[in-house]
């Protein structure tokens, strides 16, 4: 099973990705969480990525690909993955697609778009800022991340809809109901492997 979660910041993609990974026994690969870990460990990638993360800007593609490539290929060889936050632009999606074309059983099978309204998102992000302490959850960075999503990530939805693998899910329900809807939608695709 090879899935991608796409959603505005605060829509719950991390939570749902974690639940999906446990349910389907696949790897959860969160580009944002991996980047934050690189920053906290002070690695070369972390040092180069830190300012982008703080501002809520996208980290340059080369760094993200360097960090994700092997992990995605490994996960694909061991039952699959749920990608959380990568690919995040059309350019990343096309580059990932061309890598996947050369290798069997690596390409995405379904893309889950969690739909949540902007007011609800802002409320959730303010609450998260209180307990997770992410440096990019302050009001300015949040506003910027919304803009980045709209201009850079939203075009991905049409891209994957065109490939016939986009699933739109109402993310404003309680966590368990969102999860139930995702599972039903994914299972209805009858993906094997």
Check: CB of residue 7 under 8 Å from CB of residue 13.
yes
Return the number of the residue (28 or 88) whose C-beta is nearest ligand AMP.
Answer: 88
In whole angstroms, the minimum distance from the beta carbon of 103 to ligand AMP comes to 20
Residue 15 CB-half CA count within 13 A: 14
Quick one: which of 190, 191, 6 has its CA closest to 116? Answer: 6
**115 counts as catalytic:** no
**128 counts as catalytic:** yes
In whole angstroms, the minimum distance from the beta carbon of 188 to ligand AMP comes to 26
Q: Which residues pair with 110 in a beta bridge?
A: 3
Select which of 2, 44, 134, 163 is catalytic: 134
In whole angstroms, the minimum distance from the beta carbon of 192 to ligand AMP comes to 28
Return the number of the residue (46 or 56) whose C-beta is nearest ligand AMP.
Answer: 56
Which tokens is 78 given? 């061991």
Peptide bond into 87 cis (omega under 30): yes
Question: Which stretches of the chain bind ligand AMP, using CB under 6 A?
Answer: 9, 31-32, 35, 52-53, 56-59, 64, 85-86, 88, 92, 136, 145
Return the number of the residue (56 or 171) whose C-beta is nearest ligand AMP.
Answer: 56
Return d(Cα 47, Cα 102) in angstroms, integer.
Answer: 32
In whole angstroms, the minimum distance from the beta carbon of 146 to ligand AMP comes to 11
Position with the least CB separation from ligand AMP: 32
Select which of 55, 71, 126, 128 is catalytic: 128
**145 counts as catalytic:** yes
Check: CB of residue 156 under 8 Å from CB of residue 6.
yes
**134 counts as catalytic:** yes
Return d(Cα 123, Cα 42) in angstroms, integer.
Answer: 31
Select which of 55, 126, 145, 163 is catalytic: 145
Residues in contact with 72: Cβ distance below 8 Å, sequence separation at least 6, in sequence order: 29, 81, 83, 96, 106
Annotated active-site positions, please? 13, 88, 128, 134, 145
């Amino acid at each position: 099973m090879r899935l991608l979660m796409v959603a505005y910041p605060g829509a719950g993609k991390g939570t749902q990705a974690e639940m999906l990974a446990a349910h389907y026994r696949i790897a959860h690969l969160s580009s944002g969480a991996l980047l934050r870990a690189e920053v906290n460990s002070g690695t070369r990638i972390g040092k180069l990525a830190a300012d982008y993360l703080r501002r809520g800007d996208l980290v340059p593609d080369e760094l993200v690909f360097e960090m994700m490539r092997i992990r995605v290929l490994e996960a694909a060889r061991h039952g699959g993955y749920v990608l959380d936050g990568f690919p995040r632009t059309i350019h990343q999606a096309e580059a990932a697609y061309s890598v996947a074309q050369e290798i069997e059983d690596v390409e995405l099978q379904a893309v889950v778009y969690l739909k949540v309204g902007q007011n609800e998102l802002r409320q959730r992000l303010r609450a998260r800022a209180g307990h997770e302490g992410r440096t990019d959850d302050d009001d300015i960075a949040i506003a910027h991340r919304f803009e980045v999503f709209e201009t850079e990530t939203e075009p991905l939805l049409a891209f994957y809809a065109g490939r016939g693998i986009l699933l739109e899910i109402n993310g404003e329900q309680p966590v368990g109901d969102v999860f139930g809807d995702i599972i039903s939608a994914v299972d209805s695709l009858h993906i094997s492997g």
